[in-house]
Amino acid sequence: MSQPSRPDFDQYMVPNYAPAAFVPVRGAGSRVWDQAGKEYLDFSGGIAVNALGHCHPAAVAALTEQGSKLWHVSNVFTNEPALALAEKLVEATFADKVFFCNSGAEANEAALKLARRASIERFGEKKHKVLSALNSFHGRTFFTVCVGGQPKYSDGFGPKPEGIAYFEYNNLASLEALIDDETACVIVEPIQGEGGVTPATQAFLEGVRALCTKHNALLIFDEVQSGMGRTGHLYAYQAYGVTPDILSSAKSLGGGFPIGAMLTTSDVAKHLAVGTHGTTYGGNPLACAVAGAVFGVVNTPEVLAGVNTKRTRYEAALARINGEVGVFAEVRGLGLLIGAELKSEYAGRAKDILGLAAEEGLMVLMAGPNVIRFAPSLVIDDADIDEGMARFAKALRRFVG
């Protein structure tokens, strides 16, 4: 068989993705090389997944060690790496209990099922409503994609689950108009990721918490993208000082190895009794061993403090570049989840910038058609930031002609 190449995607793969023209084959730290040997600086982080960059020694060591011991046993049994990781998460957060799965969508699916079940068991069948923000994103299972407030992702698949309504993000009055005593839960991202890298305001999150408490509704924070050090705190709720009842985590949790987790209190967790929910791969020893190693690096004062130091470096570079090319209307986000929104005259052209950046040897992301998103390694070297932003500047100069 010949070496696989990009055209093979079009021949063999379901056409739900449109991957870049180059095929990455190797990574080290914040650098990636393609089949032709071209080097790229990675500011995309696998969509906020590669918290420690590529092939971090701690993660490689954990994977190698566990790979020679135990790969999979299912949840008919428990295993040491899962128990060790659960203990770390509980000790570092509000949570008492952890449920492991394989992705952010699964973590949110579990969170939503738990919230509904707990509410119904406590207050009756009428307490089932789910409230979510417009322009939110909570995954691609049918339940989570319908809860996400972006119809473009959920339309066209037939009848949608009932009992879901949407409020405006950062508009407390909009939520207040919807929430009532039949509301089971409110799910919100502390930072809307796919929706444009928009942080919640302090007053909004505090108000959401107060409304949930008033109406006996469970508050779910979707921290799939904002969690595991991305904001300079282990989880973004800690930056706000607003505590949810349930939290979903994934992406950076495994540093590149697929894993998700739902965190909650004992009082809520008891409603997922034996047999009510499950997953074959959740709590997999390989995934949990790697995630435990990633956690050990990320949850340190040095790394967490370094996140905002590095953010300042990105912001300064973006300000310098934008002073020259005048492409961006706003730069926002928290920590190393950064969104740069295009001015109106460049609306809808973020994808063009992605292509030009790749040609200059830089991997960046979009967050909708108008926002360039940066989600680099939390331990990226300053020299790599500087070099990557120099490449970004070249791409933008070409973009504006």
> Hey, what are 298's tokens?
């990320």
Written as six digits, the tokens of 264 are 């909650």
- Give the residue among 128, 118, 75 at the shortest CA–CA distance from 282: 75
Report yes or no: 338 and 373 within 8 Å, Cβ to Cβ.
Answer: yes
Helix (H, G, I), strand (E, B) or coil at 219: strand
E strands, 15-115, where?
A: 24-28, 31-34, 39-42, 97-101
Token digits of residue 361? 């040897």
Structure tokens at 335: 């920590």
According to DSSP, the residues that pair with 221 across neighbouring strands are 188, 247
How many residues does the structure list for the chain?
A: 401
Q: Residue 78: what are its φ and ψ, rounded to 5°?
A: -105, 180
Tell me the C-alpha to C-alpha distance, in Å, between residue 79 and each of 70, 159, 264: 9, 40, 20
Within 8 A by CB and 6+ apart from 254, the residues are 49, 287, 290, 291, 294
Long-range CB pairs of 67-72 (<8 Å, 24+ gap) are 67/286, 69/285, 70/285, 71/284, 71/285, 71/286, 72/281, 72/284, 72/285, 72/286
Write the CB contacts of 153 (distance below 8 Å, at least 6 apart in sequence): 137, 140, 145
Task: Indicate which residues carry an active-site annotation.
Answer: 137, 222, 251
